[in-house]
Amino acid sequence: MIYGIIIILAYLLGSIPSGLIIGKVFYGVDIREHGSGNLGGTNTFRTLGVKAGMIVTIADILKGTLAASLPLFFGSDMHQLIAGVFAVIGHMYPLFAGFRGGKAVATSGGVLLAVEPLMFLVILLVFFLGLYITKYVSLSSIFAALAAIIYALIIWDIPLIIVVSILGLFVIYRHRANIKRIRDKTEPKIKWLG
């Protein structure tokens, strides 16, 4: 019973559409109708600017962290990563936004912040280093996903390896259109860093 409650709550937390809420409430804009049409932080940055993008990204990270912490709150022996995966699914396929969500980079990061904080800091560093060098958010997200998998392999934590590999593949798969645009030189670069 408690496992079911945690899974449902984790999915519902992940389903909170931060980009949609910030866009509609504070800017009168549905970001799904602009840019890539995506609900995540990257499209919020492009559509609404740095301030809104930062708020949405932080909110998306925190919902992953909170969801992965639910087993601790409930005193359950469920692995935090399981709850975290359901938050990521909620973010990608949100109940509250017609099952059209984001690419799960920030929410996946939030799960790792709850479970393996040092790993989170490492992938954050890799992400921003990639962003500074390439100016592509999508490519930097893929770099971060690969770094997370490598980190999990180095510390040899089997549950972490399995879940991080799944999350990493989610992130890469969700960026397949971006990879094509990078090859075609049509992917937009950020203008607010460096």
3-state secondary structure of 104: coil
Q: Are 66 and 113 in contact (CB under 8 A)?
A: no
Distance CA 114, CA 68 (A): 6
- The answer to whether the beta carbons of residues 165 and 149 sit under 8 Å apart is yes
Quote the pLDDT of residue 65.
98
Structure tokens at 97: 């936004």
Q: In the chain, what percentage of residues exceed pLDDT 90?
A: 60
Angle in degrees, CA 56, 61, 64, rounded to 5: 130
Report pLDDT for 73: 95
- The answer to whether residue 194 scores a pLDDT higher than 60 is no
Assess whether pLDDT exceeds 70 at residue 192: no
Residue 180 has pLDDT above 70, yes or no: yes
Read off the tokens for 39. 């609900």
Task: Band the pLDDT of 42: cuts 50, 70, 90.
Answer: confident
pTM given for the model: 0.91
Q: In the predicted model, what is the mean pLDDT of the chain?
A: 91
Token readout for 57 is: 């990204």
pLDDT of residue 193: 63
Residue 126 has pLDDT above 90, yes or no: yes
